[in-house]
Chains A and B, each alone.
Chain A
Amino acid sequence: MKELSLNILDVAKNSTAAGATKVEISLELAESGILSISIIDNGCGMDEETLMGVTNPFYTTRKTRKVGMGLPLLKMAAEQTGGELRISSSTEKGSSGTSLLATFDTKSIDCMPLGDIISTICILIAGSPEVDFLFTDKRQSGCVQLDTAQLREVLGAEISLAEPEIQMWIREYLEEQYQSI
């Protein structure tokens, strides 16, 4: 992985795989240069034992391979800048979900660039058009925001957010917001 936005794409897919109906992805760059990335979902959550194992590369939920690199790679990306990865989770019925917070010191030479975050968000939405994604990217100069629940309200039930025409609109909508901050 050469971009933090690729890690976000990979890890946020765990949320939709966990059956989440709402996924909040928030980025915030503080004046100090510390970048916080949080991903909060209302999926099925993980029990304590699973949670202990997720940053171990030899733990995975998939059946085709015995290794799972997603979270270990994100943890490594954070730690090599002096930051950290924290995950908490609950499997309690009605309030289940997982929240993940990764911090990065963007002044560190080992901090990967954020990269193409717009593609990441577009692909997440296209892959799970029925999920409510709330995306925010807060910088010193302004804030980018996208709430797919809001878009779905405008579009109605029969038009999917995965439709190519809608995907193009979302991409341009985000591009314009990034240009203005």
Chain B
Amino acid sequence: MKSLAELAAIREKMQSKVVIREGMGTTRVVVGMATCGIAAGARPVLNAFVEGVNANGLTDKVAITQTGCIGICQYEPVVEIYEDGKEKVTYVKLDAQKAAEIVEKHLKGGQVVEEYTIGAYKTV
């Protein structure tokens, strides 16, 4: 059974890491979580990013955050990825499976998954 004592142990382990984390350039994954996003399936997408980033050991490099309505409700679930020195990438119409693929290819491998970007979607 999980206990608060276990949480204290996690804290000890993390405190050493916090210092290192602050100085590094981080990648931000921003998930739209307004009514439109939630209704379109943003919750499993956000979960998939959290799980994928954890499983791939990217937690020091990638921060996952939430935002409100981005204004393109018809393309939800929408996720924006901001990287230092690079142009923002907007992914649209995501699901958990596509999110896992983006973690693998983009966040881990550094390759934008073009077919899920808003640019590719609009030209279909």
Contacts and interface: CB of A to CB of B under 8 A. Distances in A.
Q: Is the interface of A mostly helix, strand, loop or mixed?
A: helix
Q: Is the interface of B mostly helix, strand, loop or mixed?
A: helix
11 contacts: A6-B43, A64-B69, A69-B39, A70-B35, A123-B46, A126-B50, A126-B66, A154-B11, A158-B18, A165-B59, A176-B2
A62 interface: yes
Interface residues of B, number: 34
Nearest to A118: B47
Contacts of B54: 164, 168
Given A73-B39, A151-B7, A172-B2, 12 more contacts: A6-B38, A9-B43, A65-B71, A119-B47, A127-B66, A154-B4, A155-B7, A159-B11, A165-B59, A169-B2, A169-B10, A176-B2
- Counting contact residues on chain A (CB < 8 A from B), the size range is 35 or more
A136 to B, nearest CB: 17
Interface in B1-60: 1-2, 4, 6-8, 10-11, 13-15, 18, 33-36, 38-39, 43-44, 46-47, 50, 53-54, 59
Contacts, number: 87
A116 B38 CA distance: 13
Nearest to B5: A154
A166 interface: yes
Contacts of B113: none
Contact of B59 (A6, A164, A176): A164
Contact of A62 (B33, B34, B44): B34
A151 B14 contact: no
Contacts of B4: 150-151, 154
Nearest to A172: B2
B43 A120 contact: yes
Contacts of B34: 10, 13, 62
Interface of B: 1-2, 4, 6-8, 10-11, 13-15, 18, 33-36, 38-39, 43-44, 46-47, 50, 53-54, 59, 64-66, 68-71, 73
A13 B42 CA distance: 14
A176 B1 contact: yes
B35 A167 contact: no
Contacts of A176: 1-2
Contacts of A163: 14, 59
B11 A155 contact: yes
